[in-house]
Amino acid sequence: MKAIIEVQNLQMKFGKEEALKNVSFSIKKGEIFGFLGPSGSGKTTTIKILTAQLTQTNGQAFVFAQPAAEMSKVKNKEKFGILTDNSGLYQRLSIEENLLLYCHLYNLPESTVEEALAFVNLQKDRKKRVNQLSKGMMQRVILARTIMHKPPLLFLDEPTSALDPVNAQHIYNGLRQLNELGTTIFLTTHNMAEAELLCDRIAFLHKGEIREIDSPAALKTKYSDQSFTIELENGEQHVVHNGEQGATQVMEWMKASRVSRMYSNEPTLGDIFVQLTGSDLK
Ligand code: ADP
Ligand code: MG
C-alpha cells in the first residue's frame, strides 16, 4: 500500500544543535503511528516539518507523495488536521462559537459542531468561554476542531497530556473509530500505555534519532528475556528461564500441584526504551 508519509534521512539543526539526525520512516494509509520519546527528543520538530511549519536542514519528507513544504498550500488544507498546544482559539468566545467559526471557515454543515462536541465529551460545556477553561478542556476543544473537517490524516502532538483517565479513554475510543473509518494518525506521546493501546507501530525517538520501529507486540517479543514467573501455593515467586533446567523444575512443582499462577515476564514499552537508551521516557 502507498505511503501517506515518507521520511528519508531527515536532519534538522537549530544553530549547532541537531534536533533530528538522519530520521527515516514511512507511514501507510490507515496506520496509527506512535512517535515516542522524552521531552526534547524531536517529536514536535518532526511534526512541524511534516506540516510545513519548519523546513528541514537536510533529507526528504513527503506527505501524500508531495514534498512536506506543500502542506502550507490552500489545496492541501483539507487533507490534514494538526493538534499542538499552540491553540489559535478565540479566548473570549465560547467553545461552541469557536467551533462554529471553524465550521464556516471550512464550509462544513453546522451539524459537525455537534459531532465534534460529542467526540470530546464537551456537549454540556459548550457555552463556556475559552478563557475560563482548564488545560484539559482546552486540549479537548482543540482536538474537536482538529477532527471537525474529517481529514484523512491527523497529526496529534501529545493530545491527551492534560487529560484525566476518563476523558483520555473517551478520546481513545473516538480516535479508534476515526481510524476504523480510514483516518491515518501520527501521534506523539510519552505515554507508553497510550501508545500500546492505540498504535499499530511505534518509533522510539531519542536525542533526535530513531532507535527502533515496530509493532508493540513485535518489540515486546524481541526484547523479552523469555522468562516467566511461577507463583507457588505458599506465595513464593520464582523467575524461570526458558530451557531444560527451568522446565524440569516447573514439572516438579506441577506434579506436586504447587503452582497457583504462572505468567510470562514481557517487558513494557517503557522497559524497552530504558534498555535501548539508558534513560526514561519522561
Ligand atoms: P519534543 O517535541 O520531543 O519535546 P522538540 O522537537 O520540541 O522535542 O525539540 C527538539 C530539540 O530541538 C530540543 O532540544 C529543542 O530545544 C530544540 N528546538 C526545537 N525548536 C527549536 C527552535 N525553534 N529553536 C531552537 N531550538 C529548538
Ligand atoms: Mg513536543
Closest C-alpha to ligand 1, atom 27:
14
Residue in this structure with the C-alpha cell 506527505, named with its chain if needed: 63
Whether the CB-CB separation of 27 and 199 falls below 8 Å is answered with: no
- The DSSP secondary structure of 95-131, one letter per residue, reads HHHHHHHHHHHTT--THHHHHHHHHTT-GGGTTSBGG
45 Cβ closer than 6 Å to some ligand 1 atom: yes
51 has pLDDT over 90: yes
Q: Show the domains of the chain with their CATH numbers.
A: 3-220 (3.40.50.300), 225-265 (no CATH)
The predicted-structure confidence for 117-161, as pLDDT tens digits, reads as follows 999 999 999 999 999 998 889 989 999 999 999 999 999 999 998
pLDDT bucket at 282, cuts 50 / 70 / 90: low
- Residues above pLDDT 90, as percent of the chain: 73
Looking at the chain, which runs of residues are DSSP E strands? 3-14, 17-28, 32-36, 58-63, 66-67, 80-83, 153-157, 184-189, 201-206, 209-214, 228-232, 237-240, 259-264
Q: Measured between alpha carbons, how far is 246 from 251 in angstroms, rounded to an integer?
A: 9
Q: What are the residues whose beta carbons fall under 8 Å from the beta carbon of 136, sequence distance 6 or more?
A: 162, 163, 164, 167
Number of H helices, E strands in the chain: 9, 13
DSSP letter at 44 equals H
Instruction: Provide the whole-model pTM.
Output: 0.89
Tell me the average pLDDT of the chain. 92
Reading the block at residue 208, the C-alpha cell is: 533526535
Asked if residue 19 has its Cβ within 6 Å of ligand 1, the reply is yes
Please give the pLDDT value at position 135.
86
Nearest residue to 175 via CA among 204, 195, 192, 191: 195
Q: What is the pLDDT of residue 44?
A: 96
Amino acid in the structure at residue 73: K
- pLDDT for the residue 279: 77
Q: Which amino acid is at 163?
A: L
269 CB near ligand 1 (under 6 Å): no
Q: How far apart are the first and last CA of the chain?
A: 34
Q: Which grid cell is 112?
A: 459537525
147 in helix, strand or coil? helix
Q: Using the atom order of ligand 1, give the atom closest to the CA of residue 45.
A: 6
> Does residue 47's CB lie within 6 angstroms of at least one atom of ligand 1?
no
How large is the average pLDDT for residues 20-45?
A: 96
Q: Residue 79's pLDDT is what?
A: 94
Residue 194 cell numbers, joined: 497510550
Mind listing the pLDDT tens digit for each residue in 156-197?
999 998 888 888 998 999 999 999 999 999 999 988 899 999
Single-letter amino acid code for the residue at 251:
M
- Range with lowest mean pLDDT among 147-161, 213-227, 268-282: 268-282
Any idea what DSSP says for residue 183?
Answer: -
User: How far is the centre of ligand 2, averaged over its atoms, from the C-alpha of 281 (Å)?
Assistant: 13
Percent of the chain clearing pLDDT 70 (strictly above): 98
**What pLDDT is stored for residue 31 in this prediction?**
97
Query: The C-alpha cell of 39 is what?
Result: 521531552
